[in-house]
Each structure stands twice: as C-alpha cells, then as structure tokens.
A and B are shown apart, each in its own frame.
Chain A
Amino acid sequence: EVQLLESGGGLVQPGGSLRLSCVASGFTFSNYAMTWVRQAPGKGLEWVSVISGSGGSIYYADSVKGRFTISRDNSNNTLFLQLSSLRAEDTALYYCARDATWELLGRWGNWGQGTLVSVSS
C-alpha cells in the first residue's frame, strides 16, 4: 500500500524558514516523480513544485520560485521542501503527492494527509 506521510509544519514568523518532509513507503520511491501541492485555509488547491524520480528535473510555481527548494533522498524514501522567506500568504496545508511515473506527468493518484504551515507574527 502506498503511503505518504508529511511532517515539519508549524507556526513560523514572516521571513522565517521551515523544512517539510514526506516519507514514502509501499513503492519504489526513485521510480516516481513527486510533487508538493498546497491549500490555504478554506481555499483551493495550488501546485507548488515537482521533482523527477532522479531529482534531475525540478520546477516551481512562480509564487514560490527563489524562496522554496524541493529535493529528495532516494536512499531514505524522503521528499523535502525547504521553505524560506516565508510570507503570510504561504500559510497553507502542504500535501505531497506521487506522480504516475518517474517522469513529470502531473497526474497524482496518491496523496499524503498534509502538514500545516502557519506564517504569522
């Protein structure tokens, strides 16, 4: 069974940093691209970033480019999202999701339950 477990969220002041993790199990992690999607409280879904299975291809939404960094550790089945220069508008539930293959297909059939990031002074 595919499982994705996010952690690392919390309350942080504007301008601060956080590192989110997503531990995967139940599949060969390196064979799949992984993505982060966020959802502000009461709002819709926003794609944030994606990384290919090898880590060689990475993309970001314009809203986070230059502030967030996605990475992965295939030996430990873990996806990361480093959040820096955080703003109030980054407050959201952050989901990790698995793509259909190692390529960047943008089709997410497996999701974690999310980790909440709150940016406030």
Chain B
Amino acid sequence: DIQMTQSPSSLSASVGDKVTITCRASQSIITYLNWYQQKPGQAPKLLISGASRLERGVPSRFSGTGSGTDFTLTITRLQREDFATYYCQHNYRAPPWTFGQGTKVEIK
C-alpha cells in the first residue's frame, strides 16, 4: 500500500502569513493527490484535486503543486477561517487510498 507522510504535523501562524504543507508518497502517484480541509466538528472539505486543481468555490489563496512523490499545499495570506487541519490523500489506481496523518494549522 502507498503511504502518505505529511509535514509538519502542526504549525502556528498568524493571519496574513504564507503557509506551506508538504505531503510525500511512498511511491509515485503522478498527480493523483487530493487535499482536504477539516474544521473541528465538521466533515472534511475537498480543496484541491489532481494535485493542483482548485475545487469550485475554494479561494484562490489556496494552491497545490507537485507530482510523483512530493506535493505541496500553500495558503497565501492566511485568513482566520483557514485555521483547521489539512489532509492529503492519494487516489492513485485502485484502492486502498490513504490519507496523510494531517497538519493542524493553529493561530500564533
């Protein structure tokens, strides 16, 4: 099975900061990589699919890059509503599909 490793596991940032979260796959997944945002008490929300394709309605301050094994989620000009936990997830070929362990973005 493909393992997904996110870093860092948590970070503190201020409103207006630029935040970068990385996700590494244990083997190449080309660009079969999705990013989700989860706020406390809520279901996950799909932000980015195909490594870089922003879902409808997601603010343009979110962006995703990468291919192969290394991927990045970037949030420019962090807003208060962006404080949440972010997960990467691969959907390469047949299941099982795995998530990264999550990155909690906290207010500094």
Separation of A59 and B17 alpha carbons in the complex (Å): 41
| Contact yes or no, A113 B94, CB < 8 A | no
**A107 to B, closest residue via Cβ:** B49
Q: Interface size (B, Cβ < 8 Å)?
A: 25
Determine whether B76 belongs to the interface, using a CB cutoff of 8 Å to chain A.
Answer: no
**Partner pick for A111 among B44, B90, B94, B96, CB 8 A cutoff:** B44
Q: A44-B101, A45-B89, A45-B102 are in contact. Are A109 and B46 (CB under 8 A)?
A: yes
Separation of A108 and B97 alpha carbons in the complex (Å): 12
Determine whether A106 belongs to the interface, using a CB cutoff of 8 Å to chain B.
Answer: yes
**Partner pick for A107 among B1, B34, B87, CB 8 A cutoff:** B34
Judged by DSSP, the binding face of A is loop
Within the complex, what minimum Cβ distance (angstroms) separates B9 from chain A?
A: 10
Separation of A62 and B97 alpha carbons in the complex (Å): 11
Separation of A50 and B98 alpha carbons in the complex (Å): 13
Determine whether A95 belongs to the interface, using a CB cutoff of 8 Å to chain B.
Answer: yes
Q: Which of B79-108 contact A (CB under 8 A)?
A: 87, 89-91, 94-102
A-B contact count (CB 8 A): 59
Q: A45-B36, A45-B89 are in contact. Are A95 and B95 (CB under 8 A)?
A: no
Determine whether A89 belongs to the interface, using a CB cutoff of 8 Å to chain B.
Answer: no
| Contact yes or no, B43 A111, CB < 8 A | yes
Q: Mark A37-75, 1 if CB is under 8 A from B, else 0.
A: 100000011110010000000011110000000000000
| Contact yes or no, B95 A50, CB < 8 A | yes
**Partner pick for A106 among B42, B45, B91, B100, CB 8 A cutoff:** B91
Determine whether A104 belongs to the interface, using a CB cutoff of 8 Å to chain B.
Answer: yes
Q: List 15 A-B contacts (CB under 8 A).
A: A44-B100, A46-B99, A59-B95, A61-B95, A62-B96, A95-B44, A106-B32, A106-B90, A107-B34, A107-B46, A107-B49, A108-B44, A109-B46, A111-B44, A113-B42
